[in-house]
Structures are given as C-alpha cells and as structure tokens.
Structure 1
C-alpha cells in the first residue's frame, strides 16, 4: 500500500497521464492502457484501493468528475453540426436506445441469470456509451465526419438517458412488485427529471447572458462555469439521484448553442481538464475493483452475456432503428459494432449495486462484475478494431499525415505540389478567390473561405490534416490563426511564416510570442520564399542512406538552400524550424528549396556521366 493519501493522489495522476502518453506514443487506445494500469496498481499488485482509502469522499469525487466530463462533452453539441444528421441521431438516441434497453434486459435475465429488477436496471445502464470513451476513439480512428458525428451525438445524448432509464426501471419495478404500491415515488421521479432539465437550461442561459453583457471578467469565466456546473449537478442530484447528469447536459447544450465567442476559449481549457479527470477517474475505478470481481468475469454466463451484447443486441438495435434513414450499409455496420462503455456505466452500476443490495436482491453483487466485463471487453475490442474496420468499410480518413496551409501564393502552391509528390494530403485555404487561382491552375486541393470563420469550421473537413502552416501576407493574422488552432493541432505542429523580414508596424516582437513556431528560419520571410520561387528555385527530394549520410548532405548543400521538411517512409513529417530539432535517418527523404544553378550543375554532371558511360560501352 502507498504510504499516504497525498502520495496516492500523486500516483493516480502520474499513472493516468502516463497512460495517456504511452497510448499517444504507441498509437493505442488510451482507455485500454488506463484500465490495465489501474488493474495492476489495484487488485493485482495491491498498491492502492482508492475506494477504501478515500472513504466517504470517493463517491462524491467520482460523481463531480463525471458531471464535469459530461458537461464538457455536451459543450461541443452545437445544433448546426448535425444538419443532415438529425433523423439518424434521433432514431438511434430514441428507438435504438429503447431497443437496446429491452434486448439487453432480456439477455441479462435469460443468459446472465439476473432477476427482472436487476436485469432491467443494468439494461438501462448499458445503453450508455458516453463521451469519455467515444471521444478518444474518434480522435484515434480519424473517421469520416458523418459517422463520427453520429457516434459523438449518440454518446452524449444517451449518457444521461441511460442513468435516468436505470432509475426509471428501478422505480417502476419497485412500484409494481410492492405489496402496497404508491405512485407518489414515480411522480417525484418524473417531476425531478423535468426540474433537472429546466435547471440545466436556466443555468446555461443565465451564465451565458452574464458573459454576453460583460458581468463576469475573462479571468473568472472558467472558474465561474465550473462552480455553476457543480452547483447545477448537485442541486438536481440531491432531489433525485442521477438527474444531475441530465441537468449538466442541458446546461452544456444551452451554452453551446448561444453563439458566445468566449465559450470557444473555455472549451479548450475544459478539454484539458476533462482529459485529466478521465485519466484519474479510470485509474481510481479500476484500482478499486476486488480480485473476486475479476475472477467472476470468466463465468460462462457472464462471458456469454457480454458476447451477445456486442454481436447481437447492439447491431440489431442499430439496424432496426435506422430503417428508413439515408445511412449506408457500411455506416450501419460501423455504428452497429462501435459501442464501448465507460466511466458513467461503471459509476452508475456501482450506485445501483448498493441500492439493490440494500433492497434485498441477492444478485446485486453481480452487477459490478458484469459491468466491468462489458466495459473492459468493449473498450479493448472496439478500441483496437475501430481503425481497421473503418478502413475496410471505407469510412476512414486514415493515411499519411496531411498539411493545411492558410494563404495562397507562389510559395505555398509550390510547397503543396511538393507534398503531393510525396503523397501527403494537403489543402490550401484562402478567403480570396483571385489568390486561389494559382492553386486551381496547379491542381492543388483548395478551400475558399475565411479560416477563422464559423462556417469554415462546419464545412471544412480537417480530420486528414495534422500540421498547419499560416503563410498569408498579414503577420498578425498568421499569429492569430496559430494561436486559435494550437490547442487542436499541438504546439509542435503549428507554424507561421513572417510576411516580411521586418514587421512594418513594429509589432514583430509581440506577434512572435503570440503563437506558432517560425517555419524554416527566422530571417526567412514569405517575401523571400516567393522571390525564390520566381527565380525558379527547385523543390528537390534527397534520400538519406547509409552511404550518403545526413551529415554529408549538410556539408555538400548550397548555402542558399532552404531545408523545408523531412519525411519518413511511414509518411510522418517534420518541418524544419529553428525551434525544433530535425535529424533525418537512413531511409528518410529531405525536401529542400535548391538554387537552380546547383540543380543545373547536377543535371550537367549527370549528362556528362552518361556520355562517358556510353563512350566506354562503345
């Protein structure tokens, strides 16, 4: 066991974020790594048991964390995003959820051997997928926008519905099986659910209006939202347990659709907090499991139940609920397979296990075991299969990492053509149709629109692109684009090119610190690069080998050569920058902007060698 509670809190954070890093480094599902790490730290090695160590604080901590995670997910649910997806999302979230509940409950009773009460309670819980498991999988798999948005919306909409459905099932069955049925408990439940929805809407609307009218300063906006989320969840949850999830979901959706600009700024902060909470909570939940629970997972009845839920219940509910929609067969197949369960299922099932146990149900202890079995199996199976399945069904944008270039000019068009030659996805975005003429004539993919516009956010598919280059003639705009998209692309993948060697407004030092790394060299401006392309500089590819090393290449290159990027055989790229160290290895290709004089000399040397060889052969 760990020496102190403080040490345990440190260890939970370290294991959680460490698992996220390992998953990122080796391109594996983060939830799988976190689950394995939690099991090793808890029941297997016995280093900690958070449920026992935290005592009465354990359940409130989990509940508040789940509420914040769910709010952060619902904050992404702008109704503009589901234009054209309304019918499939509505069908899956209503008819599909109902079918999944009924079929899952019947399976739990007849296969897993649960009583009707426990079966219908667990059936309601298992319609939940949730943002904590869906979002990481979507980031990992690079699905096409349509199936990705459907899975995201289903996960967040159904998340509170599953918890409420479990409460509803418990209240109904308790009412029907009672010796003296009292309908007041049902009325209280329905009234509390309506109150939770109204409370969430009121909290979202209220704090949104305060933001719009400037009643809350910028530095207090994120803390204020946090406190309101916790208050909204707590007030609803104190009236009827689990209605708090409905309240925070309603609050998040209300804020997301008010069109408040500052919400976008907070969204990145909340995503960071959400990742931290997901990491910590998953470690805490899995580390708190008992060894007996793990051994029960291998019971044939439980394993049979898990397999039927994955291969029969989920696909059947999706196919039946989407009859008459415009979903293609390959989309239905993907949606019918992907349904990982996560934190909400674990936390809610733990609550109902204790409630059913207090009510005298002998099979209540099996609920936690079945939940963990389904959560872990679906997370592993779906996490490792979503990428390959999406490729086979032609629903994946997976491929070589692409580059999104903001600004159309001579240099960026030629840079895009060089990326096309190495088969890397590329697109140029510009608000001027005239400037895009160069891209159109060169056959380079382009998008006509303002990069920072809300319309561009919904119309431009950015999934294939991992790198962004801001190379317009406005230095401040380049910095603003980099600052805006740095949280999405990562600090090492966002670059800017200075339009001029010296900022005409004297703002160079300030803009330099705003955002984005300087592409290539600090003394090399967009004006210089455009001039080089007009002077017919060559975009040259050089392969580094064991014989022709990178060191030798650097020694022999012309001093006017501009190193652009290095590409590995796998397609991974590294753009040159003074702030990043690029060290190509044998097999890598270095792309550079080479003076035409040196290129002519190389061509002449090559022709001379050919003539000499021909002379010898004759």
Structure 2
C-alpha cells in the first residue's frame, strides 16, 4: 500500500491517462481499460485504496468531478442539434426512463431479492447512462449522426434524472415510514430551485461574457468556479439536485450561442477527459475483494442479465412506438446503455443511508451496482462497433479526407482519392469554385466550413483528415486551427505558403494552422498551374518487382509525391518534414508531368501496332 497521497495522485493520473492512450492505440473501449487498471491497482494488488486513504475528501472530489463532467456534456446540448429527433428523444427520456425505472425495480425485487423500498430507490438510479461512458463509446464506434445524437442526448439528460428518481423514491420511503409530507414537498421545491439556479447561473455568465465584464483570460476559470458554486449550493439544499443544476446551466449556455463558450469548449473537454480518467480509476481501485466476490452471487447475475436483455430493450421499444425510428435504430439504442460514474457514486451514498434507516438488504447495493456497471461497460464497449456495422448504422470504412476549397487541383485530388475507395468531400462557399467537382460527380458541400451551422448540416464523422486548400493562406491556417481539436494536428494539413511579395506569414505557420503539404513551394498557384498545364495524378502500386527504391529512382524530376495509401486503408500525406517509405501493397499517388503520360500512350499504341503486324504475318 502506498502511504504518500502525492504518489497516489501521480499513480491515479498515470493509470487514467495511460488507459486512455492504450484504448486509443489498440482500439479498445477506454472505460474497460480504466476499470481493469483500477481493479489491478486496488483490490487485486492492494497498491492503493483511494476511498480509505483520501478520507473525508474522497466523496467531495468525486461529486465535483461528476458535476464538471456533466456540465461539459450539457454544453453540447444545443436544441438545433435535436432537430428532427425531438419526439424520439423526448419519449426516451420521459416515458422510456419511467418504464426502465418500473421494470428495473421489479427485477431488483423479484430477482435480486431486495425489499420494495430499496428496489425502487436503486431502480431509479439504474436508468442512468451518462456522458462519462456514452461519449467515449460514441467516439470509438463512429455511429451515424442520428443514433449517436439520440444516445448522447439520452445519456446527458437522464444522468441527473436518474439520481433524482433515486432521491424521490427515498423521500417516498421516508414519507410512508414517518408520514411526513414536508420531506416530499422539500424534494420538489429543491429540484425546482436547482433548475432555476442553473438557469440563472447560465444566463448570468452568458450576459457577463457578452458585455465584456469578464476578461478573456478569466473566462474559463470563471465558468469553472461558477459550475462548482452552482452544484454545491443546490447539493447542500438537497443531495443530488446539484447534478440537475449544472445540467440546466450547461444547456442554458449552449443555447445562447456565445462565441466565447465555443472557444472554451475544448478546454472543458480536456478537463472532462482528465476527470473521467482519474475518477473511474479511483472508484474501481476503492472496491474491496469482498465486493468483487459478491458479484458472482446468482441473484446479482440474474438481475444484471434481466437489465441487459429485457429491461433496456423493452423500455426503448415501448417508448418509441409511433416514432420514426427504424428497427435497426431501436435495436442499437435498446442495447447500448452502459452505466458509469454517477451510478457508482450515488449507489454508495444510498447504501449507507438505507442501512442507517434499517434496510439491511442495502448492504449488497455496491456489489450489485458495480456488477451492472462493469458488465454493461464491457458488453456494450466491445459490441457497439460490431452491432452498428451489422445494422448498417456505422460510418465504417477507410478514413476519409475533407478538402476545403474547390479548384482544378483539389478536384483532381478528390477524384484520385475516390478511385482508391477513400471517402472524400470537397466543401466551398462558392458554387463557381465547386462547379468542377460537381460536373465530375464528386461529393461536395456548398457552405462556409467555419459557420456554426455547418455541424448541423454536414456529417464529418467519415473524415479523419482535413486538407485546407484555398488560395488564401490565412484562411487555410484559420480552418486548420479551428479544426485541430477535432482532427488532431497530425491530420490537419494546409498548402504551402504562396510567399507573395509583402506577405510575411512564414513565422505565423509555426504557431497556428496545420502541417504544410507536399513540399516547400507547392502553393495553390503552383499546384493549379501544373494541373492546368496537363499534369496528371498517377497511381503506382509498390510490389516486389517494383519496390519503392526503384520508384524514387525512376521518378521524373518535376513530379510531386502527394500521398501514400497503405494496404490498411490509412492515408499518409507527404510533407516537407516527413517523407514516408512505401511498402509492398501500398499505392503512391504523384502529380506527374504530362510527358510521362504521352510516353505511356505512345508505348501502348506502339504495342498495339506491333501486335497487328504480327497477326498479319501469321
């Protein structure tokens, strides 16, 4: 056991972020890797027990982290996004949540053997999915926009509702036991106050941002402080209403459409990712060996099976009757419902409270909850991608390329990518610049890529590479800088600077923008001039008979290597600082002078002529 809290904090952070990296590197569900890391460090090896070692600080740390995570998730709940999905989402988070509560409570009573009071309390809590587990799965699975948005909205909205249902059920128990109506009235009043407080905080922060009362450098810290205050005030009045308050605050800010909120969203996402990583490790590391062994109780196994295969699918199918959801979408949404941090934290709270009230069967709540959390995280984490592909609700395929800027060069590049079965899209705000692409049947989008409306009309899920290829260097840099958080700096590219007389952008590109494509001097003007002068896009497959070394040796001195398509489907663009070596099975695409093409045509014609002469002599 590590005695130093500083060492424990270091280890928790290392395991959390390291688990995220392992999950990304080997395409595994991040929550599963984090759970295993926490279990190994805690009950298995006994290296640490955060709940015991952190003492009174443990629960406040977990609660504040959940509040920040839920707030960050609710910042994405713009009502414009739910356009066309309003009815299914509304039905799922209301009627579906109610059905899940009733059915889950019945399963807890008749299968897990819990008393009615405990069953209805924990049944309310088990309707939650939450952003801590749903959002990582959605990033991993690359679902189509419609089912992805439904799962995201459900996870974020139902998270506080589930906690409140558990509190509501507990207050009903207190009311029936003590015949005290004031407790029930206090619950409803506290919930209404929490929503009002969140709305006021959101409106207040938004107004201060818009009027300039908060300087730019203080905006993120100010929001962070207000979120904690909003959560704490509501939670002190009534336990778990703080989650409702921060959700209301986040949704209020998201629908005010303030540019400052969009700018800081990436900071909030980074904080949220760090908190998810560390908190999940802390929770799993705090479990005891006895809790883990109790999971194998037949009653607990039966309850978990019912929740997975009966309760969740049935509640989704019944609640979406009469909506426009397809059977495939119902099947996917009806299967995916992983439980996460909120379920674990709130269950531990109610276990202690119910035991104090004399309900001895509440002693198994932590084991029951962890069994459901771990099983759903593993089952849904490993199956979401496979099931989405089977139901044709996945954007599976080779990583695509999003090209910003219509021109002769980008049209030729896009056509070549399309011929290689790589998804590609050209976007431009000018119909005229898109005319070449449209005339050749290329997939295109007419609109301003930097507009906030774009994300509602353009699905960017299939595209993992961004190529900014307009004639304006500053615009290319702005586009890459804007989308670096989504695509990553290694996958964001822009054309080489034009180096026009009077411009001094050389220093600028090192601090903002994307990676420069191809080679120095391959500017918009140069590339388009080559295409207009007859240069062609040549695809060459590397084989044992024609290795990469021979290709480089025979390449025309005026040729420009553009990218390598790997046999795995991955695309590696050539840059001035990075020249990739092609292996057997890879395809190199280059922009070749027309003389090579003429030579090939002449050789082909000469071969045909000789063939005809040979036939005549026979």
Is TM-score (shorter-chain normalized) higher than 0.5? yes
| 1:71 maps to 2:71 | yes
Cα distance change, pair 491–503 in 1 and its aligned pair in 2 (3 A): farther
Cα distance change, pair 459–302 in 1 and its aligned pair in 2 (3 A): same
Shift of 1:235: 0.6
| 1:173 maps to 2:152 | no
What per-residue deviation string (whole Å, max 9, x for no partner) do you get for residues 161-192 of structure 1? 000000000110221133xx111111111111
Question: The residue matched to 1:583 in structure 2 has which SS?
Answer: coil
Cα distance change, pair 424–63 in 1 and its aligned pair in 2 (3 A): same
Kindly indicate whether the alpha-carbon contact (under 8 Å) linking 1:472 and 1:499 is maintained by their aligned counterparts in 2. no
| 1:96 maps to 2:96 | yes
| Partner Cα distance (1:340, 1:583) in 2 | 42
| 1:141 maps to 2:141 | yes
Shift of 1:614: 9.1
Shift of 1:443: 0.9
Question: The residue matched to 2:431 in structure 1 has which SS?
Answer: coil
| Partner Cα distance (1:113, 1:174) in 2 | 21
Question: The residue matched to 2:28 in structure 1 has which SS?
Answer: coil
Q: How big is the alpha-carbon RMSD for the aligned residues of Structure 1 and Structure 2? A: 1.7
> 5+ unaligned residues in a row in structure 2: which ranges?
none
Shift of 1:540: 1.2
Question: The residue matched to 1:395 in structure 2 has which SS?
Answer: coil
Question: The residue matched to 1:435 in structure 2 has which SS?
Answer: helix
| Partner Cα distance (1:287, 1:329) in 2 | 40
Match of 2:384 among 383, 386, 390: 386
Find the counterpart in structure 1 of residue 478 from structure 2. Answer: 480
What per-residue deviation string (whole Å, max 9, x for no partner) do you get for residues 12-31 of structure 1? 11111111111111111111
| Partner Cα distance (1:320, 1:204) in 2 | 35
What per-residue deviation string (whole Å, max 9, x for no partner) do you get for residues 363-420 of structure 1? 2221111111111111111111111111111111111111111100000000000000
| Partner Cα distance (1:385, 1:515) in 2 | 37
What per-residue deviation string (whole Å, max 9, x for no partner) do you get for residues 238-277 of structure 1? 1111010001000000000111001111101111111110
Kindly indicate whether the alpha-carbon contact (under 8 Å) linking 1:479 and 1:512 is maintained by their aligned counterparts in 2. no
Kindly indicate whether the alpha-carbon contact (under 8 Å) linking 1:38 and 1:287 is maintained by their aligned counterparts in 2. yes
> Aligned ranges for residues 107-506 of structure 1 at < 5 Å?
107-178=107-178, 181-498=179-496, 500-502=498-500, 504-506=502-504
| Partner Cα distance (2:59, 2:456) in 1 | 39
Find the counterpart in structure 2 of residue 22 from structure 1. Answer: 22
Bigger mean CA deviation after superposition, 592-601 or 336-345? 592-601
| Partner Cα distance (2:34, 2:220) in 1 | 27
Kindly indicate whether the alpha-carbon contact (under 8 Å) linking 2:174 and 2:183 is maintained by their aligned counterparts in 1. no
Shift of 1:570: 2.1
| Partner Cα distance (1:3, 1:551) in 2 | 58
Shift of 1:360: 1.9
Find the counterpart in structure 2 of residue 50 from structure 1. Answer: 50
Shift of 1:589: 1.3
Bigger mean CA deviation after superposition, 358-367 or 158-167? 358-367
| Partner Cα distance (1:35, 1:390) in 2 | 24
Kindly indicate whether the alpha-carbon contact (under 8 Å) linking 1:427 and 1:446 is maintained by their aligned counterparts in 2. yes
Q: Given the two structures, how large is their TM-score scaled by the length of structure 2?
A: 0.97
What per-residue deviation string (whole Å, max 9, x for no partner) do you get for residues 276-332 of structure 1? 100001111111111111111111111111111011000110111111111111111
| Partner Cα distance (1:572, 1:45) in 2 | 39
What per-residue deviation string (whole Å, max 9, x for no partner) do you get for residues 310-359 of structure 1? 11000110111111111111111111111111111111111111111222
Question: The residue matched to 1:241 in structure 2 has which SS?
Answer: coil
Shift of 1:603: 4.7
Runs of 4+ residues over 4 Å off in structure 1: 602-618
Kindly indicate whether the alpha-carbon contact (under 8 Å) linking 2:202 and 2:250 is maintained by their aligned counterparts in 1. yes
Shift of 1:524: 1.2
Match of 1:531 among 529, 553, 556: 529
Find the counterpart in structure 2 of residue 36 from structure 1. Answer: 36
Kindly indicate whether the alpha-carbon contact (under 8 Å) linking 2:498 and 2:521 is maintained by their aligned counterparts in 1. no
Bigger mean CA deviation after superposition, 594-603 or 241-250? 594-603
What per-residue deviation string (whole Å, max 9, x for no partner) do you get for residues 190-209 of structure 1? 11111111111111110110
Shift of 1:521: 1.5
| Partner Cα distance (2:598, 2:66) in 1 | 64
| Partner Cα distance (1:559, 1:513) in 2 | 32
Cα distance change, pair 159–132 in 1 and its aligned pair in 2 (3 A): same
Size of the aligned set, in residue pairs, is 616
Kindly indicate whether the alpha-carbon contact (under 8 Å) linking 2:174 and 2:180 is maintained by their aligned counterparts in 1. no
Cα distance change, pair 606–504 in 1 and its aligned pair in 2 (3 A): farther
Find the counterpart in structure 2 of residue 517 from structure 1. Answer: 515
Shift of 1:483: 0.6
Shift of 1:608: 5.8
Question: The residue matched to 1:592 in structure 2 has which SS?
Answer: strand
Question: The residue matched to 1:574 in structure 2 has which SS?
Answer: strand
What per-residue deviation string (whole Å, max 9, x for no partner) do you get for residues 14-56 of structure 1? 1111111111111111111111111111111111111111111
| Partner Cα distance (1:469, 1:269) in 2 | 24
What per-residue deviation string (whole Å, max 9, x for no partner) do you get for residues 424-446 of structure 1? 10011001111111111111100
Q: Given the two structures, how large is their TM-score scaled by the length of structure 1?
A: 0.97
Match of 1:540 among 532, 538, 541: 538
